[in-house]
């Protein structure tokens, strides 16, 4: 069978190509392949991209997202990330590897910056796209990000989340951030300072006086998980830091 294969056009063609390429430098090989086989290379590239896309789509369809969060302009220790992902999935009773607690990340600066503005703009669009697509539950972010999105109607009105008593207590602690439309007397609570939480103090590295904020996506597809997330962050045991 091997001898028969060696007589095929495919084998002879590959052998001839190998003989041609053998004395060439790497650069010459690349130029030769592109000059004589660029159509085939493009076909192979397109096929590979199609297969990769199909595998990604199938993989995403198989996932069951139990809770979805996003970190923005946050530096977090890997143990802290594990607490919010693999450990959280276990805490929620995941019995399958496709049941996940996911946390995405993005970081950006001033989109008007002449040097990094374009990159910052595209990075800043990740959160709105996730909220618009109803794919996100909670957000942990720095002050810059919190204020950047404050007028974009992305956050949940926390009066729909906290009880009046809880909100009043948070106000006494000066931890509530409000948004207020121009010309309106209604102040909407949209974020809470969580810098003082032991989890944040242990695993997140605020720079200087930069506070860390917690907010909920206004279009959360899992509203029943919002309280769970809030409690889970507060229930973190300092003993985790010893592992």
Across 12-21, 209-218, 234-243, least confident range: 12-21
**What is the spatial distance between Cα 162 and Cα 190, in angstroms, rounded to a whole number?**
11
**111-124 per-position pLDDT tens digit:** 877 778 788 899 99
Residue with tokens 């948004």: 179
The average pLDDT across 118-133 equals 93
Q: What angle do CA 189, 107, 123 make, to 5 degrees?
A: 95
**What is the spatial distance between Cα 147 and Cα 150, in angstroms, rounded to a whole number?**
5
Torsions phi, psi for 179 (to 5 deg): -115, 140
Q: Where are the alpha helices (DSSP H) in the chain?
A: 2-5, 9-21, 26-62, 78-84, 86-91, 117-124, 126-132, 143-148, 164-172, 198-203, 224-234
* Residue 189 near residue 177 (C-beta atoms within 8 A): yes
The average pLDDT across 125-143 equals 95
> Which among 177, 174, 169, 118 is positioned nearest to 149, based on CA atoms?
177
Give the per-residue pLDDT at 45.
46
Which residues have a Cβ under 8 Å from the Cβ of 82 and sit 6 or more positions away?
A: none
**Residue 59: band (very low, low, confident or very high) from pLDDT cuts 50, 70, 90:** very low
- Residue 72: is its pLDDT beyond 70? yes
* Residue 206 near residue 194 (C-beta atoms within 8 A): no
- Residue 141: is its pLDDT beyond 80? yes
> Which among 109, 136, 143 is positioned nearest to 212, based on CA atoms?
143
**98-111 per-position pLDDT tens digit:** 899 999 999 999 88
- Residue 38: is its pLDDT beyond 60? no
Give the per-residue pLDDT at 56.
38
pTM above 0.85? no
């Amino acid at each position: 069978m091997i001898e028969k294969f060696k007589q095929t056009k495919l084998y002879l063609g590959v052998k001839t190509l190998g003989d041609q390429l053998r004395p060439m430098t790497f650069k010459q090989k690349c130029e030769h392949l592109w000059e004589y086989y660029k159509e085939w290379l493009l076909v192979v590239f397109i096929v590979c991209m199609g297969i990769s896309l199909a595998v990604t789509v199938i993989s995403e369809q198989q996932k069951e997202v139990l809770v979805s969060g996003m970190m923005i302009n946050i530096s977090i220790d890997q143990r802290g990330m594990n607490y919010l992902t693999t450990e959280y999935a276990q805490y929620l009773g995941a019995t399958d590897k496709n049941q996940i607690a996911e946390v995405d990340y993005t970081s950006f600066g001033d989109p008007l910056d002449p040097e990094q503005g374009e990159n910052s703009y595209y990075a800043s669009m990740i959160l709105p796209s996730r909220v618009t697509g109803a794919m996100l539950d909670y957000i942990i972010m720095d002050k810059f990000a919190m204020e950047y999105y404050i007028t974009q109607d992305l956050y949940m009105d926390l009066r729909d989340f906290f009880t009046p008593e809880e909100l009043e207590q948070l106000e006494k602690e000066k931890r509530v951030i409000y948004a207020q439309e121009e010309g309106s007397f209604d102040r909407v609570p949209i974020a809470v300072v969580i810098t003082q939480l032991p989890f944040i103090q242990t695993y997140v590295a605020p720079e200087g006086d930069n506070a860390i904020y917690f907010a909920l996506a206004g279009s959360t597809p899992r509203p029943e998980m919002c309280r769970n997330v809030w409690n889970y962050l507060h229930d973190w045991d300092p003993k985790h830091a010893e592992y």
